[in-house]
Chain A
């Protein structure tokens, strides 16, 4: 397991486009955090989805999942390692990008976001393991958030992104609800990861 997590983190660190985009997004998020805590929260959420999704789905996009599963044929272990690596990367991203928020004295909001961001990383990485295509996931997430949670539910029903937003504002009930959504995604991913890897 340790080797798997190390391998994943090494991979993230050595793909130039990956760490450059993370650094740019981090700098932007940090800047916006200085202007508005709410903007920082929103961007951290979006960033967590993006980072965790790309980290996991790129393995399928570039077929490197094949090498991963040849190295560790027990696929649930691979999934767990990917979830852990996603959590580490997104928490580091959130923690570092939030120094401006901390600097302005919003300690509680900073803490609340750092509590819920690992769940978002787990949720997004698990969803990526199910869908395997990052673009599909981004489009599906965007459409879901705007149409289902925004227009239809007016951000009032206990749906994933609504729960994330409420939890990042310190709502403990919604934190539990979002943990439930993340667990559901992990169960789905644990089943889906056993699908055939048929190649191009």
Chain B
């Protein structure tokens, strides 16, 4: 489990993170969403002990990162689009970190195959694509077989196959009881993966909720096209709906699809199209991040 308790970081007079409090629970994938410069990376680095908070506490499995026994066996981190020395091969990079993590040579070979770098393992990482560097970073994070994974923009540079692979890896990790905290700006991708959401904007946490509840914050709108838009408009407004016009299509909020269909039948106007426009994660995120 990951806990941030009123984490605050000032750089001089600039407040990068202001009282961030949230948790990421075991067995769940938690998405950490924020625009560029919103304080996500600073928060993640405070959790990992790389940046000292001005105030507040960051705990992983109930302890500060620096107090963890064998941290690489408890926490795996993917930061900064695949950190490695460009003159070192992927295999040498992993072997060097296996020495620190206490992992075996067999584990290194297993991970090279697992992340799909078997053919590139003896190439220098400076020649790797961004996607290959991300795969290497994931392998580095998994060396100690940790229970907690913290990933900062791990999907950057991955192709669709790579994204599907990463999604399955993280879901499987959570299914086995692991904790996953992942930041990403690829919101459509994240929506397919996460259970819980933490939204940060301007250094402040704006929302901590299960993903399903987050969708509940936003109102579903109906798009309705019928023979007589004017009569439909009046009927829906009388029923308490909020109606706007988009070309020949009505956009109705505040009514269910069933109500809208019955009302149209009641006023004898044929309906040609009725769709529920459920907001996606991006719309919800932007409304929460920008409006408060």
A residues touching B (Cβ–Cβ < 8 Å)?
3-4, 6-7, 10-11, 14-18, 58, 62-64, 66-74, 194, 196-200
13 A-B pairs with C-beta separation under 8 A: A4-B100, A10-B92, A14-B96, A62-B83, A62-B86, A63-B80, A66-B50, A67-B97, A70-B48, A71-B72, A197-B45, A198-B51, A199-B79
B87 and A69: CB pair below 8 A? no
Residue of A nearest to B85 (CB): A62
Contact A69 to B85, CB < 8 A, known contacts A14-B92, A74-B66, A199-B80: no
A3: chain B residues at CB < 8 Å are 99-100, 102
B49: chain A residues at CB < 8 Å are 69-70, 73
Q: Find residues 77-129 in chain B having any chain A CB closer than 8 Å to their own CB.
A: 77, 79-80, 83-89, 92, 95-97, 99-102, 124
Majority SS of interface residues in chain B? mixed
B99 and A7: CB pair below 8 A? yes
B88: chain A residues at CB < 8 Å are 11, 14-15
| Shortest distance between the CB of B162 and any CB in chain A (Å) | 21
B50 and A7: CB pair below 8 A? no
Residue of B nearest to A71 (CB): B100
A73 and B66: CB pair below 8 A? yes
Extra contacts besides A67-B83, A73-B66 (7): CB < 8 Å: A11-B96, A15-B88, A66-B50, A68-B100, A71-B101, A196-B50, A198-B51
B99 and A66: CB pair below 8 A? no
B85: chain A residues at CB < 8 Å are 11, 15, 58, 62, 64
Judged by a CB distance under 8 angstroms, whether B131 is at the interface is no
Q: What's the tally of chain B residues with a CB closer than 8 Å to chain A?
A: 34
Residue of B nearest to A61 (CB): B85
| Shortest distance between the CB of A152 and any CB in chain B (Å) | 35
A17: chain B residues at CB < 8 Å are 87
| Shortest distance between the CB of B130 and any CB in chain A (Å) | 14
A199: chain B residues at CB < 8 Å are 41, 45, 79-80
B99 and A73: CB pair below 8 A? no
Cα A199 to Cα B48 with chains together (Å): 13
B97 and A196: CB pair below 8 A? no
Q: Which of A4, A58, A198 has the most CB of B within 10 A?
A: A198
A4: chain B residues at CB < 8 Å are 100
B96: chain A residues at CB < 8 Å are 7, 10-11, 14
A67 and B140: CB pair below 8 A? yes
B86: chain A residues at CB < 8 Å are 62
A15: chain B residues at CB < 8 Å are 85, 87-88, 92
Select one of B41, B65, B87, B124 contacting A73, CB under 8 A.
B65
A73: chain B residues at CB < 8 Å are 49, 65-66, 68, 71
A196 and B101: CB pair below 8 A? no
B45 and A198: CB pair below 8 A? yes
6 tightest Cβ-Cβ pairs between the two chains A and B: A14-B92, A71-B100, A73-B66, A196-B51, A197-B50, A7-B99
